[in-house]
Amino acid sequence: MNTLPTVFAQIMAFLPLHEFRKCVQRYGGDYKVRKFSCLDQFFCLAFAQLTYRESLRDIVSCLKAVKSRLYHMGIRGRVSRNNLANANEARDWRIYADFAQVLIAEARRLYRNEDIGLELENTVYAFDSTTIDLCLSLFPWARFRKRKGAIKLHSLLDLRGSIPIFIHMTQGKTHDVRILDDLPLEPGSFYILDRGYLDFSRLYTLHQHHAFFVIRAKSNLQSRRISSQPVDKTTDLTSDQRIALTGLKSKIDYPDAIRRVRFYDRENDRYLIFLTNNFLLPAPTIAKLYKLRWQVELFFRWIKQNLRIKSFYGTSENAVRTQIWVAITVYVLVAIIKKRLDLQAPLYTFLQILSIMAFEKTPLNQLLTETNDHESMADDRNQLLLFNL
């Protein structure tokens, strides 16, 4: 008789459940709850993420089909569409947001020595947002345009491991630059931003916190050159200057000098201008740092392709936030398992295997190390591989 836990139970065994219970207690999630606890809800939603379930009915039907195994999967309560729907509506989403932060902290410790391709000891973050379209008649609280609903996910990504350390959800009409006010600022760290975040008063706040930014300049930037540094034009750099802003508002918002690096992008036949408050790094490193911003774009595309965050199991804001935070938790949990077990397979391969093996009783390490899917992955050239390390 095989007494080994199911693959799903083995994955959930990596969760620090004592921390989860602290989060539940903090917000009174299980107050007067008898039949379907917050942990039951979390396991059901995590199962849905790992096995690509599309609806509440889909989740419940699959779990009921293996009713005899639910107890050993950690699900103690009665699984029903009504119980799960009510939990998504009523249980405070901050329970799952706080728990995700616990896992994020652990993942950052595991990936803190990850190579990002630059000889740089500083922490490097990329910040951007993505829009998720919603039906306005079903999600009236998520108004975007007159006849369209949407939400935005703003994410600050630690590039050592592609770990999202800050996730903020807003209505679709919220301007991206406003979220800079909420970013956790760490002295000595680099923040890579697209030019949509060019707000000199907010950048100066970041500068005053002794953090560094790298951002693209807009074409109408008004400035004067203070001094220039020689550049090696074989590296496609055309200039490296110290400038002062001369715009009526910008020179007040950012009174200090800024470094201006001009770079020729051969691939797209265009010139890019980067602004930074770091005057010590070589100019080629500044250009390479900005190129790393693409990692946050890959992150958004990856989670949209591989996690359930484009269709939702509930229509309330609380249900949407809960599902998004559980999805982020699952993403970070799989990244933690990958690192702890020293697995070489890309994260995409990892999730594909788990999606069809959730109820098997094969040892997790054996299941993932013996599966060689590299040939099939090579055939799918359009698939984004975020954790292809």
What digits encode the pLDDT tens for the residues 265-274? 888 899 999 9
Average pLDDT across the chain, whole number:
89
The single-letter code of the amino acid at 113 is N
Determine the pLDDT at residue 216.
95
CA distance 136 to 253: 38
pLDDT band of 212, cuts 50, 70, 90: very high
Which of 190, 157, 177 lies closest to 277 in space, CA to CA? 190
The domain ranges of the chain are 7-96+308-379, 195-292
pLDDT value at residue 370: 59
For residues 279 and 241, the answer to whether their CB atoms sit within 8 Å is no
Q: Of 129, 151, 77, whose CA–CA distance to 312 is shortest?
A: 151
Count the residues in the chain.
389
Within the chain, residue ranges assigned H as helices are 7-12, 17-26, 38-51, 56-65, 81-90, 94-111, 200-208, 250-253, 283-291, 294-306, 317-340, 347-357, 364-369, 374-379
Q: pLDDT tens for residues 23-33?
A: 999 999 998 88
Query: Among residues 160, 156, 159, 177, which one has the least CA distance to residue 168?
Result: 156
What is the DSSP annotation of 70-95? Answer: TGGGT--S---HHHHHHHHHHS-THH
Q: What percent of the chain stands above pLDDT 90? A: 66
Query: Which positions ≥6 away from 66 have C-beta within 8 Å?
Result: 359
Strand 190-193, strand 124-134: pairing: parallel
pLDDT tens, 216-240?
Answer: 999 899 999 999 999 888 888 999 9
The pTM score is 0.89
CA distance 337 to 196: 35
User: What does the pLDDT look like over 88-138, one tens digit per residue?
Assistant: 999 999 999 999 999 999 999 999 988 888 888 899 999 999 999 999 999
Q: Each residue of 320-363: pLDDT tens digit?
A: 999 999 999 999 999 999 899 887 777 777 788 888 888 888 88
Confidence of residue 263 (pLDDT cuts 50, 70, 90): very high
pLDDT the model gives residue 131: 93
> Whole-angstrom Cα distance, residue 380 to residue 382?
6
